[in-house]
Structure 1
Amino acid sequence: MFQRRRSAVALRHVAFEDLGLLAPIMEREGWNVSFCEAPVDDLSHSSIRDADLLIVLGGPIGVYETDSYPFLTREIDLLERRLAHGLPTLGVCLGAQLMAKALGARVYAGGVKEIGWGSVTLSDAGRASSLSPLAEGSPVLHWHGDTFDLPDGAARLASNENYENQAFAFGSNALALQFHLEADPRQLEEWYVGHAVELAAARITAQELRAKTAKVSKIVARQADRVFTNWLGQLRHSDAASKTAHAG
């Protein structure tokens, strides 16, 4: 029987922080993905508001900088609506922070800037979630200086020594990741250029990051495939269960 391909919209803040490793997984799992440029596009359009899945990507600004970047308020409004209705939503880095804000949590500058490959520790809820392939010490890419409080009603999935809230789930259809599972090691050369000023301020060189990336590139591709395939599969089962319930 023919199965409808589902629609996903990826909200992008800067061109080089895109779907990365997630793109081929989405294609394989039956999703049609379109991009929306968050700073300039109409975020109230029905194609975005009612997409089967909304993915909110990263960017080098803070959720609290709404005076400088008014579109952030429109993003938060969009996320409030989707999360209130249980619509499938994935947030990465800035996207995770925007989800936390939309759920009423505080987002603020953290005490440590995390840039580079590190790890996270899964909570009991995290080990029972789609993040289960992230074994202790699995390499993930951190690239942030902000953090957030855990929203009411959310389940903490991952932490590390610097930040208690590295990932959370809200209901069965929303996942927020402070770290970058989607980052494609081959495309990080664009990040080194795009974030050159930030790297210089943090006294981190592209050479350092490049060397560490080469060591983990095969591992991160495998674990991204497993985590995102798990999560998209959960969405499919959740959608099927919802349709069965409504039919009944």
Structure 2
Amino acid sequence: MIDVVEHEPGCPLDRFGGWLEDAGAKVRVLRPYAGDAVPSTPGDGLIVLGGQVDAYADDAAPWLPAVRVLLRAAAADGTPTLGICLGAQLLAVACGGTVDVGAAPGREAGVVDVHWRPEAAGDPLLGGLADPFPGPSMHADAVAELPPGAVWLGSSAMYPHQAFRVGAAAWGVQFHPEVSEPTFAGWAAELGDVDAAPVLRELAGRDADVVAAGRELATRFARIVEAAGADRR
């Protein structure tokens, strides 16, 4: 079972849910904003989704300390973990990195070309994926410093830390491989600093590539979780 931490209704598992199911994985969505408890120890796998709060906003989202504890535990024990956008930022902070809230380059919105670094070539999750990887993005905060010992895997023209790995199997990606056009449109409509029409046209025009890349990433993650569970048994 993959535990999925959802921080708000507007940032769901979205397309990933079907792709993981197609790959044979089962998921349990935890909604701490609605009262679900955040476990203290990880299960077979963990996905932490995005959200509009920042990685330090414990007053606005009082479950964040528990999520950081869970991410730190998952990274330490090798539980397959994927942090997406805010989830990646929480993973970085949990493991000793830092996040720049309202980073100086400004909001990165649209479908971003993520280029893999040489270190990604042998990575079990990201190695061999499309390069550039079409990563839908809608963020203004960014990982400033990676955790000690983290492996830097991917960057974009605007923000360097687009993908990284902590330990053997905890990945953070700043982009949104899971997002659908309706969800993306909702984000664009809510943000006053986003010109919605061009970013939505960009996603629509590149959506076939976004789907192919996102599905492959989700399928690989499901297989990594399955293999890790078999090893533990």
| Alignment partner, residue 225 of structure 1 | 215
Q: Go from structure 1 to structure 2 and tell me whether the alpha carbon gap of 1:29 and 1:103 turns closer, same or farther (over 3 Å shift).
A: same
* 1:99-248 correspondence to structure 2 within 5 Å: 99-109=91-101, 110-111=103-104, 112-129=106-123, 130-148=125-143, 149-184=145-180, 188-198=181-191, 200-202=192-194, 204-205=195-196, 207-243=197-233
Q: Which stretch of the first structure deviates more once superposed, 14-23 or 146-155?
A: 14-23
Is the CA contact (8 Å cut-off) linking 1:132 and 1:227 kept in structure 2?
A: no
What is the TM-score with the length of structure 1 in the denominator?
0.83
Residue pair 2:80, 2:169 contacting (<8 A) in 1 also: yes
Distance 2:163 2:108 in 1: 15
Residue segments in structure 1 that go unaligned for 5+ positions in a row = 1-6, 244-248
Q: Deviations over 1:142-176 (max 9, x none)?
A: 11111121111211110112222111112232111
Determine if the alignment matches structure 1 residue 22 to structure 2 residue 12. no
Which residue pairs with 1:13 in the alignment? Answer: 7
Q: Which residue of 2 aligns with 1:4?
A: none
Distance 1:84 1:105 in 2: 15
1:53 alignment partner in structure 2: 45
Are 1:90 and 2:82 counterparts? Answer: yes
Report the residue type matching 2:218 in the other structure.
F
User: Could you tell me how far apart the structure 2 residues matched to 1:195 and 1:60 are?
Assistant: 12
Residues of 2 paired with 1:59 and 1:124: CA distance? 30
**CA shift digits 1:26-45 (9 cap, x unpaired):** 11222221211132434344
Segments of 4+ moved more than 6 angstroms = none
2 CA distance for matches of 1:194 and 1:141?
Answer: 11
Structure of greater relative contact order (alpha carbons < 8 Å, 6+ residues apart): 2
Paired position in structure 2 for 1:3 = none
What is the CA–CA distance in structure 2 between the aligned matches of 1:37 and 1:53, rounded to whole Å? 16
Partner SS state of residue 91, structure 1:
strand
CA contact (8 A) 1:16 1:191 kept: no
Task: Give the partner amino acid of 1:120.
Answer: V
> What does the per-residue CA deviation read over 1:41-65, in whole Å, with 9 as the maximum and x for residues that have no partner?
343447xx34211110000110122
Structure 2: segments with no counterpart, 5+ residues:
none
Aligned residue for 2:26, secondary structure, equals strand
Q: Distance in 2 between matches of 1:135 and 1:50?
A: 30
Question: Residues 238 and 23 of structure 1: is their aligned pair in 2 closer, same or farther, counting only changes over 3 Å?
Answer: same
- Which region of structure 1 is more displaced relative to structure 2, 85-94 or 36-45? 36-45
Secondary structure at 2:43 match in 1 = coil
Counterpart-to-counterpart distance in 2, 1:229 and 1:190: 21
Match status 1:62 vs 2:54: yes
Shift of 1:115: 1.0
Q: Which moved more, 1:230-239 or 1:89-98?
A: 230-239
Letter in 1 for 2:140: G
- Alpha-carbon distance, 1:14 to partner: 1.8
CA contact (8 A) 2:44 2:228 kept: no
Amino acid at match of 2:217: V
Number of aligned positions between the proteins: 229
**Please, which of 67, 70, 76 is the counterpart of residue 75 of structure 1?**
67
